[in-house]
Amino acid sequence: MSTGSATTTSRTRTFRLPDLGEGLTEAGLVQWLVAVGDTIATDQPIAEVETAKSIVELPSPFAGVVTALHGTAGDTIDVGAPVLDVAEQGTAGHQGETQHPGEERADENNTDAGNVRPAASVEHETYRSEERAGSGNVLIGYGTSERASSGRRRAPRAAAARGQSLRPRLEHETEPTESKVSGPVAVRSPLVRRLARDLGLDVHAIVPTGADGAVTRADVLAAAVDSAVDGIGKDTSREARVTSETPDGRGGDDALDGLAVSSRERLSPLRKAVSGRLSRSRSEIPEATVWVDVDATDLWNLRADMAPAGGTAPSITAILARFVLLALAEHPVLASRLSDDGSELISFDGVNLGVAVDTDRGLLVPVLPRAHTLSVDELDSALREVSSTAREGRMPPERLRGSTFTLNNYGGLGVDGSAAIINHPEVAILGIGRIIERPWVVDGQVVPRRIAQLSLVFDHRVCDGGYAASFLRRVTELIEHPLRAFGRV
């Protein structure tokens, strides 16, 4: 065994914002968790960023000394834009380096197929496998995550190249080149095609970089960024055409319809995501609405008796959620989905219940998985937990997707009714207004009762009004006769 000398060198790497998943093209910088001069480790959180789903920590894909931070709190960072620079220490000029038995030498410039595949090839294959699996780049651990090996041990440098296959391209690296063939554009992944449609892009106008001329997820996101950049400065919109020639002469370069524009505020990632989803829901789903006023007096009085000794009674929302789940068990179509091409109805064994929560950041819909298995008390605990987490901005993205039916209790906002928009790709949403005293006819007498309005919005492609009305009647029956739901009568 022999040893040799090594010369210590350093190089600066630029960490660029990776694809955070869900088709997002940007993130808001909430706060830095490091400062210039700090020494950081691989996967150490370096900043908090706000995506369309939640506030998450952004880890660094490599270790070193922070030399620059790109942006301040409140800035919006586009995917692929610099986040921070790190000076990474390394060694060069190896002499007589020891090679352990069973290990293969894998220098950075070694592309011998007998030792290790080029990093660009590994990165491409990893991306393609992710694309087929339907995932975006992972956030935590994307700098060091390992893939299954063939059983052959690799040298440290080779392992690092494989481990960093999901990291963003570095400042000094070049775009991997791949062969292209003439012919029609290939979009092998339906997720990529769907992303392009959501962003309003024509896949035939996107320059492909994938194998055999395939358009990849990265190509779609790059085209979206280019489209946004190209639109800056073009005087094609009505707003841009407005000049200082306003009727009252008080306009200016930033005026619209005779009024001076007081401010312009870029939509947050959350508002953009909400806008895109609601627009898609309105454009794709032929929705219909049925509603009914329901007497919730008995439920209102019963709730107080449901409190355990020294405990707190379950919330009205938890009880209503249980009634809704019982009704969905008898009307499963309303908790189903349509396939992307609208040719199949996909039914599920149970319900993942989405619950609308109003937060300072906007409307979020956290999900209670397999909610049909939960009791009223379990639903109450789960609802309190997700509401608190969502309002604190700490809801993980994975807990904000996968719902099959949404319950929106907007009565807490002080309103009686709403024509809600279906939470795509679901097929129905139930809204509940405030429960207030109103004059009500009971046995021929006008008496004060606790009345609430229920509003069901459903996709008319999956069922007709009779089916939707049957579901709503069942929920109404459970609310007006709550003891029946608990098997006491």
Active centre residues (catalytic): 460
Whether the Cβ atoms of residue 155 and residue 103 lie closer than 8 Å to each other: yes
Q: What is the 3-state secondary structure (H, E, C) of the chain?
A: CCCCCCEEEEEEEEEECCCCCCCCCEEEEEEECCCCCCEECCCCEEEEEECCCCEEEEECCCCEEEEEECCCCCCEEECCCEEEEEEEEEEECCCCCCCCCCCCCCCCCCCCCCCCCCHHHHHHHHHHHHHHHCCCCCCCCCCCCCCCCCCCCCCHHHHHHHHCCCCCCCCCCCCCCCCCCCCCCECCCHHHHHHHHHCCCCHHHCCCCCHHHECCHHHHHHHHHHHHHHHCCCCCCHHHHCCCCCCCCCCCCCEECCEECCCCCCCCHHHHHHHHHHHHHHHHCCEEEEEEEEECHHHHHHHHHCCCCCCCCCCHHHHHHHHHHHHHHHCHHHHCEECCCCCCEECCCCCCEEECEEECCEEECCEECCHHHCCHHHHHHHHHHHHHHHHCCCCCHHHHCCCCEEEEEHHHHCCCCCCCCCCCCCCEEEEECCCEEEEEEECCEEEEEEEEEEEEEEECCCCCHHHHHHHHHHHHHHHHCHHHHCCCC
Quote the crossing angle between the two packed helices 297-305 and 465-480, to the nearest 10°: 50
- Rounded CA gap, 248 and 250, in Å? 5
Query: Residue for token digits 């009727």?
Result: 247
In this structure, what are the phi and psi dihedrals at residue 175, rounded to the nearest 5 degrees? -65, 130
- Rounded CA gap, 199 and 468, in Å? 32
- Rounded CA gap, 299 and 316, in Å? 9
Relative to beta strand 428-432, strand 45-50 is unpaired
Both tokens of 331, joined, read 């009307």
Cβ burial, residue 74 (10 Å; 0-12/13-18/19+): exposed
Strand partners, 448: 439
Quote the crossing angle between the two packed helices 465-480 and 316-330, to the nearest 10°: 140
